[in-house]
Homo-oligomer: A and B are copies of this chain.
Amino acid sequence: MSAEVKAAVARYLDAVAGGSPAAIAALYAPDATLEDPVGADLVRGRAAIEEFYGALAGAKVSTELLAVRAVAGHAAFSFRVTTDAGDQQYVVEPIDVMTFDADGQITSMRAFWAPGDMVVTPA
């Protein structure tokens, strides 16, 4: 069961790196919620979630899983997201918490990070 959850986390990070908001949103359950960063307004439903990830469309993004802890239906994981914006790279290492339904779809996502956690370096 935790292996299924870990596989779902891997699919999510691959999709984020893939850069297709629709493909990312498809990993979410239709009525899923998203809170990114924690404390921000809740994004609810797959259409709104696809719009949330719209900022990624066309961006050069890579992701790397740093650590994952999973139990049935729940995961917490830290990962690195590197966004290449031409002359600058943006690197942030959030800790995300997700819940999953029986089909492995994401039912909720909460991302723990603050703007001050982002590192900007010349590419």
Contact = CB atoms under 8 A, between A and B. Distances in A.
A79 to B, nearest CB: 11
Copies in the complex: 2
A76 B70 CA distance: 15
A78 B112 CA distance: 12
Contacts of A117: 69
A113 B69 contact: yes
24 contacts: A2-B116, A37-B71, A38-B71, A39-B72, A39-B73, A66-B67, A67-B67, A67-B78, A67-B93, A69-B78, A69-B93, A69-B95, A69-B114, A70-B114, A71-B112, A71-B114, A74-B112, A75-B112, A76-B76, A76-B95, A77-B95, A78-B78, A95-B95, A97-B97
